[in-house]
Amino acid sequence: MSKIKPSKGAPYARILGVGGYRPTRVVPNEVILETIDSSDEWIRSRSGIETRHWAGPEETVAAMSVEAAGKAIADAGISAEQVGAVVVSTVSHFSQTPAVATEIADKLGTDKAAAFDISAGCAGFGYGLTLAKGMVVEGSAEYVLVIGVERLSDLTDLEDRATAFLFGDGAGAVVVGPSKEPAIGPTVWGSEGDKSETIKQTIPWDRFHFGDRSGLPVDSQGNIKFPAITQEGQAVFRWAVFEMAKVAQQALDAAGISADDLDVFIPHQANVRIIDSMVKTLKLPEHVTVARDIRTTGNTSAASIPLAMERLLATGEAKSGDTALVIGFGAGLVYAATVVTLP
C-alpha cells in the first residue's frame, strides 16, 4: 500500500487580527416607531437598543465583508495573498449560489484562497472560528479569514412590534493563524433541532415565490410580506440565559479557565437583558469587561461577536492578550462557545 504524506500544520492557532464594518446610516428608535405602536422606553427596557446601523444599496454583504476583512488583515500584519481560506457566515446573502465567500476572496486580492459560506445563524462566528482553528492546526491553510456578515434589515418585518427594533446590519472579521501557545480553547458547540420553531424565517423562499400564496401574512398595504425572521421571545430568552450559561461554563471548564481568570465576556449581542442575565447566572466577577455593543449596533447575528470584539479593543475597554469567553447562540437552535486570547 502506498504511504500518503501527512499535512503539516501549526502547533496551535490564534486570532491575529480583527476588523469591523458598520453601515453609515444610523437608525434611532424614533424611525422604528414610525411602523410599530411602541415607545423608545419600551424598546430600550426590553432590548437595550438605542440605535442600529442599516445598510444602504451599496453596502452589500460582499462590500461590507471586504471592508471588515481588509481591516482584520491589516490588523494581523499579513497580506491578502497569505490568506489560504475564507469562511463566511451569513443568513442574509440572497444569491443562493455561488457562495459570497468567493467574491470576497477575489475582491480582497487573495491568491485563489479556498472560500465557502456556512449557515449557523447567530452561532456562525464560533462555528467559523472552530473550522479555521482546525485548518490552521491541520495545515490546509496558514491563515484563515472568518467573516460574520448580515443585512438583517432585509429580513425584518417593520410592522412586527416584537422584532422590528431588534436587528441591525454589519460585518465583523478575524484572521486566524499559527501560534506557539494555545490561544483558542476547545469549542463547546451543538444543535437542538427540536427547537427549530423558536427562531425562524416566517415563510420559505419557494412558498413566497411559487407556491400557494393563500394564507400568507400581508402588510398594512395588503401586500404579501417579504420573508422575515421571527422568534418566540420568552422561549428564546429562557434558553439563551439558562441553557447557554451552562454551555459558557462548559467552555470555561474545557479551557481550564476560571471566571476569576477571565478578562472579557463577549456573548452574541442578542438582547442586553439576555446579556445581563447571563452575567448574573454565570456569577462573573466585577472585573470582567462585558460587551454591550448591542446598544448602538442592534442584533447583527453572526457579525455581532467580532464587531463587539473590535469595538472593545478600539475603545481600550479590552486589550491585546486579554482572555475572553465568546459564545454565540441562535436559530437552529445552534450554539458555540470557546475561550480565546484577544489579538
Partner 1 sequence: MAATQEEIVEGLAEIVNEIAGIPVEDVQLDKSFTDDLDVDSLSMVEVVVAAEERFDVKIPDEDVKNLKTVGDATDYILKHQA
Contact residues toward partner 1 (CB under 8 A) are: 45-46, 232-235, 237-238, 241-242, 271, 273, 277
Shortest distance, CB of residue 289 to partner 1, whole angstroms? 24
CB 241 within 8 A of CB 280: no
Instruction: Specify whether the CB–CB gap between 343 and 75 falls below 8 A.
Output: yes
The least distance separating partner 1 from the CB of residue 242, rounded to whole angstroms, comes to 6
Q: How far is CA 47 from the centre of its chain?
A: 17
Query: In the complex, what is the shortest distance from the CB of residue 274 to partner 1, in angstroms, rounded to a whole number?
Result: 8
Residue 332: CB minimum distance to partner 1, A: 17
**The total number of residues written for the chain in this structure:** 343
The x, y and z cell numbers of residue 60, run together, are 452589500
Grid cell at residue 16: 491575529
Q: Indicate the residue among 76 and 278 with the shorter CB distance to partner 1.
A: 278
Max intra-chain CA distance, the chain: 72
What is the helix (H) or strand (E) element at residue 14, kind and residue range?
strand 12-21
Of 138 and 243, CB closest to partner 1: 243
Between 65 and 277, CB nearer to partner 1: 277
**Is 130 or 277 the residue whose CB approaches partner 1 more closely?**
277
Beta carbon of residue 243, minimum distance to partner 1 (angstroms, whole number): 11
We find the least distance from the C-beta atom of residue 183 to partner 1, in angstroms, to be 35
Nearest residue to 300 (alpha-carbon basis) of 64, 96, 13: 64
* CA nearest neighbour of 266 among 131, 152, 126, 135: 126
Residue 266: all three cell numbers together: 463577549
Q: What is the DSSP string of 77-128?
A: T--GGGEEEEEEE-S-----SS-HHHHHHHHHT-SS-EEEEE--GGGHHHHH
Peptide bond into 145 cis (omega under 30): no
Output the smallest distance, CB 296 to partner 1, in A: 21
Residues marked active site are found at 122, 268, 299
Measured distance CA(118)–CA(132) in Å, rounded? 12
Q: Of 92, 93, 252, 67, nearest to 145 (Cα)?
A: 67
Give the DSSP H or E segment for 194: none
> What is the C-alpha separation between 120 and 131, in angstroms, rounded?
12
Cell digits of residue 145: 479569514
